[in-house]
Chain A
């Protein structure tokens, strides 16, 4: 049973139905997970999945049906339409797009072809590095890879076959002394190329030493500081603090939000440019077509400090009278596509790191991702590593810090943007129940004035 012929049989079925729009997603996937807790490999599993969904629109209302069972798909199509009829009381509006017939298959590196032994060998090496450090209490390693093939067809006549592969690796070292427990982590990922996560020995050693060093590190005193963010954390910052605000499904039917997000409004200094694009090869957020069959684009969200664009599905674009950007994505066939980021970054400028910290008398240098959340206006994210900056120099390590702020003031408080753009592939984005979605984000080093830091 493969999904392509099943999809072909449905192309005529969906054209004959009485609905304003119908699309079908079919998906088959294989995944492998390897987990370590402590010195030994603890769990290894393989999974395979097949399933699909039908989404139909009638008079502005959506019906959505998802299933594992691929029998009677015409019946599923009818159910989706009935459900849409139940809901629809207005007018269907979807941005116009050209139908696409394409097989965008072919992935260069498929992790599924590597043996479990090869993967385990590399993870064993990393774990040995962690365990060779004194005062190390335990380690956690979570490796996952996956391959997936999707078929998309719509009543517009689109028929798109795509493939993707994805790898994520998260390592955590946990150190303990006299009942005090501290941890440090490393998150990496790639678009299926195992070699990209295969040469981390130095990073793993550094991470482990940092976990131990935290045992003797002081807490930061809570309050406002000048904060310098490394490219990884600045990438999380741009994703959390601004990226989610650019997702139009929060905006298009909310008058207050539309006013806040008026195009042309000044959000930051003239040095600030923020981009989202799924068109860069090799990044985890990239694809040729989104889950509504819309080609990937490159969208400036902020240009020279001004709001100039936002991320759209076909529905949000139509309702806001803007062009679709190809940002409708679903984590898998169990969910309908919603507006999501892809690869989001702050464009580099010309300030070097040493110039950036040179005139800071007392500030904080934060590195590395630990987590992040936003509620649109307010965001919060935590740093994997933090150091005091004293008299223009990076000084003592601090216990983990959490930074928080208001997006509207914080973007304006960015007063220096570095020259060293780097993309972080280790993150996964959550929205609603859909997580983790492969994305990447990045930035050069940036400096933020008056940033609120939680502490004792």
Chain B
């Protein structure tokens, strides 16, 4: 890396070298049986330069040709955008715990056992289910050096268990699933199995709804699938800078119900999305995006922050190896005081939405979503009576989150990226094939 940096400094005013390497192991199950064992080694080295005030960028997996990388970056710099930022110099980083040495040591046999136990527990409940799943572990090392003396380095472990189950009766297909991730090794897979078993229980009976407006409870999975993506786009500093964010001109104004709080937080202990600094070497911080329904801030990388006359929030991210751009690290929706059970008990007629398919395909920027209820349940007179099918829900996130919603008191991580409670929406448009 130092070689690339010194070559780059000869031809450009400023330079930054970013490297990420990872080692990953995954045991894969198919049709309830162990099927494949994968190991993956990856290296990525990215060079960003500022030459004659413009940004150049090149990325490679090759360790053997530093000059070619520098030449590519120089070529792109002719057309690059004017660099308005400075690379950070030497900084102190918060101590974010994300490494567990046991991940490296955990034997493959243990990973296989976790998967087998998961499958045994679920097939014991529903013998006809066909399960695909995996147990994975890995280590990621990141290092950043730049021409202003900035230097950041961290190592992170991750561990994950996930499954999807498919149950077929005639041409009726039911999909259930759950996953869990951490920087620690899990001692068992019971928690994942139990979520799936509950889904199977609730989906045993079939129920139907009419096309009309109904109260809807989004489970944490449902919240992550239906409501989060528009907010991820709207609070991105770049969307705001372009004037395309519906909340862009509402800083310090109320845009949502008082009950709503939202943070971006890359500092939560032992979460796979946590890190001491972002991918430009800016220290991580917890950023309040919505406070009691008020828009508090947006998230930024270095370049966007400078253009917006503010500071980077440590959200510079290199999605798919590209130039850094603002990206959320982990969205945390604040909990409320409502109980999930009470939400159901108080519902005369309504829906519980656990998985929505296609929600993100509409006008995300405008906050609109519309999706097929892949896994959802009908509520009648305070209890879940069965699974609904051929049913769509549609709405606008901004309208929903300014209504008199109720927010659950317990939050759950959905995948790596979202931590959400249940959310009760008093009225939502439901369309169904009668």
User: Do A and B assemble together?
Assistant: yes
Chain B's closest residue to A42 (CB) is: B81
CA distance A174 to B360 in the complex (A): 17
- Contacts A182-B366, A254-B31, A380-B357; is A47 near B321 (CB within 8 Å)? yes
Q: Are A181 and B171 in contact, with the CB atoms below 8 A?
A: no
- Contacts A66-B41, A83-B37; is A44 near B76 (CB within 8 Å)? yes
Q: Top 10 A-B pairs ranked by shortest CB distance? A: A256-B168, A222-B431, A253-B31, A380-B358, A371-B361, A454-B370, A454-B392, A382-B361, A83-B37, A377-B173
Which of chain B's residues have a CB closer than 8 A to the CB of A429? none
CA distance A379 to B374 in the complex (A): 9
A434 interface residue (CB < 8 Å to B): no
Chain A's closest residue to B29 (CB) is: A87
A183 interface residue (CB < 8 Å to B): yes
CA distance A257 to B365 in the complex (A): 38
Which of chain A's residues have a CB closer than 8 A to the CB of B84? none
Partner of A48, one of B72, B130, B368: B72
Q: Are A87 and B392 in contact, with the CB atoms below 8 A?
A: no
Q: Are B68 and A48 in contact, with the CB atoms below 8 A?
A: yes
Which of chain B's residues have a CB closer than 8 A to the CB of A372? 358, 361
Q: Are B429 and A222 in contact, with the CB atoms below 8 A?
A: yes
- Contacts A116-B75, A182-B366, A336-B36; is A402 near B394 (CB within 8 Å)? yes
Chain B's closest residue to A82 (CB) is: B37
Q: How large is the interface on B (under 10, 10 to 19, 20 to 34, 35 or more residues)?
A: 35 or more
A2 interface residue (CB < 8 Å to B): no
Q: Are A402 and B365 in contact, with the CB atoms below 8 A?
A: no
Partner of B130, one of A256, A259, A453, A456: A256
Using a CB-CB cutoff of 8 Å, which residues 148-194 of chain A contact chain B?
174, 176, 179-183
Which of chain B's residues have a CB closer than 8 A to the CB of A133? none
**What distance in Å separates the Cβ of B202 from its nearest Cβ neighbour in chain A?**
17
Using a CB-CB cutoff of 8 Å, which residues 17-48 of chain B contact chain A?
27, 30-31, 34-43
**What distance in Å separates the Cβ of B113 from its nearest Cβ neighbour in chain A?**
13
A394 interface residue (CB < 8 Å to B): no
A337 interface residue (CB < 8 Å to B): no
A6 interface residue (CB < 8 Å to B): no
Q: Are A181 and B59 in contact, with the CB atoms below 8 A?
A: no
- Contacts A43-B81, A455-B431; is A402 near B362 (CB within 8 Å)? yes
Residue-wise, chain A 30-64 has the 8 Å CB interface mask toward B (1 for contact) of 00011101101111111111110000000001111
Chain B's closest residue to A369 (CB) is: B361
Using a CB-CB cutoff of 8 Å, which residues 66-87 of chain B contact chain A?
68, 72-73, 75-76, 78-81
- Contacts A37-B242, A222-B392; is A67 near B41 (CB within 8 Å)? yes
Chain B's closest residue to A184 (CB) is: B363
Q: Are A452 and B358 in contact, with the CB atoms below 8 A?
A: no
Q: Are B211 and A222 in contact, with the CB atoms below 8 A?
A: yes
Partner of A256, one of B73, B78, B169, B365: B169
Using a CB-CB cutoff of 8 Å, which residues 227-251 of chain A contact chain B?
none
CA distance A260 to B166 in the complex (A): 13
Q: Are A260 and B168 in contact, with the CB atoms below 8 A?
A: yes
CA distance A38 to B370 in the complex (A): 27
A207 interface residue (CB < 8 Å to B): no
B172 interface residue (CB < 8 Å to A): yes
Q: Are A137 and B242 in contact, with the CB atoms below 8 A?
A: yes
- Contacts A45-B58, A138-B242; is A380 near B30 (CB within 8 Å)? no
**What distance in Å separates the Cβ of A39 from its nearest Cβ neighbour in chain B?**
10
Residue-wise, chain A 413-456 has the 8 Å CB interface mask toward B (1 for contact) of 00000000000000000000000000000000000001011111
CA distance A401 to B361 in the complex (A): 9
Q: Are A63 and B58 in contact, with the CB atoms below 8 A?
A: no
Q: Are A253 and B30 in contact, with the CB atoms below 8 A?
A: yes
**What distance in Å separates the Cβ of B370 from its nearest Cβ neighbour in chain A?**
4
**What distance in Å separates the Cβ of B107 from its nearest Cβ neighbour in chain A?**
11
Chain B's closest residue to A240 (CB) is: B358
**What distance in Å separates the Cβ of A261 from its nearest Cβ neighbour in chain B?**
10
A354 interface residue (CB < 8 Å to B): no
A271 interface residue (CB < 8 Å to B): no
Residue-wise, chain B 298-318 has the 8 Å CB interface mask toward A (1 for contact) of 000000000000000000000
Using a CB-CB cutoff of 8 Å, which residues 47-68 of chain B contact chain A?
55, 57-64, 68
**What distance in Å separates the Cβ of A85 from its nearest Cβ neighbour in chain B?**
9
**What distance in Å separates the Cβ of A367 from its nearest Cβ neighbour in chain B?**
15
**What distance in Å separates the Cβ of B174 from its nearest Cβ neighbour in chain A?**
9
Which of chain A's residues have a CB closer than 8 A to the CB of B61? 48-51, 68
Which of chain A's residues have a CB closer than 8 A to the CB of B186? none
B371 interface residue (CB < 8 Å to A): yes
Which of chain A's residues have a CB closer than 8 A to the CB of B73? 46
Q: Are B58 and A377 in contact, with the CB atoms below 8 A?
A: no
Chain B's closest residue to A407 (CB) is: B171
**What distance in Å separates the Cβ of A75 from its nearest Cβ neighbour in chain B?**
12
**What distance in Å separates the Cβ of A395 from its nearest Cβ neighbour in chain B?**
21
| A interface residue numbers (CB < 8 A to B) | 1, 33-35, 37-38, 40-51, 61-69, 79, 83-84, 86-87, 89, 116-117, 120, 137-138, 174, 176, 179-183, 222-224, 253-257, 259-260, 334, 336, 370-373, 375-382, 399-402, 404-406, 408, 450, 452-456
B108 interface residue (CB < 8 Å to A): yes
**What distance in Å separates the Cβ of B227 from its nearest Cβ neighbour in chain A?**
16
CA distance A34 to B374 in the complex (A): 36
CA distance A75 to B48 in the complex (A): 34
CA distance A406 to B79 in the complex (A): 48
25 A-B interface contacts by CB (under 8 A): A37-B238, A37-B242, A44-B79, A44-B80, A45-B322, A50-B62, A67-B40, A67-B41, A67-B42, A68-B41, A86-B37, A120-B79, A174-B244, A222-B431, A223-B431, A254-B31, A256-B130, A373-B358, A375-B173, A378-B390, A382-B361, A399-B368, A404-B392, A406-B389, A456-B429
Which of chain A's residues have a CB closer than 8 A to the CB of B433? 224, 405-406, 450, 452
CA distance A50 to B68 in the complex (A): 14
B154 interface residue (CB < 8 Å to A): no
B94 interface residue (CB < 8 Å to A): no
CA distance A183 to B389 in the complex (A): 30
CA distance A43 to B60 in the complex (A): 17
Which of chain B's residues have a CB closer than 8 A to the CB of A260? 168, 171
CA distance A268 to B167 in the complex (A): 24
Using a CB-CB cutoff of 8 Å, which residues 236-286 of chain B contact chain A?
238, 242-244, 246
**What distance in Å separates the Cβ of B221 from its nearest Cβ neighbour in chain A?**
14
Residue among B68, B171, B246, B393 facing the most chain A CB atoms (10 A cut-off): B171
Which of chain A's residues have a CB closer than 8 A to the CB of B199? none
Using a CB-CB cutoff of 8 Å, which residues 85-115 of chain B contact chain A?
108
Q: Are A375 and B175 in contact, with the CB atoms below 8 A?
A: yes
CA distance A38 to B175 in the complex (A): 41
CA distance A238 to B393 in the complex (A): 23
CA distance A20 to B168 in the complex (A): 33
Chain B's closest residue to A383 (CB) is: B361
Q: Are A382 and B357 in contact, with the CB atoms below 8 A?
A: no
CA distance A46 to B56 in the complex (A): 9
**What distance in Å separates the Cβ of A413 from its nearest Cβ neighbour in chain B?**
11
CA distance A454 to B55 in the complex (A): 44
- Contacts A378-B390, A402-B392, A455-B394; is A83 near B39 (CB within 8 Å)? yes
**What distance in Å separates the Cβ of A214 from its nearest Cβ neighbour in chain B?**
8
**What distance in Å separates the Cβ of B72 from its nearest Cβ neighbour in chain A?**
4
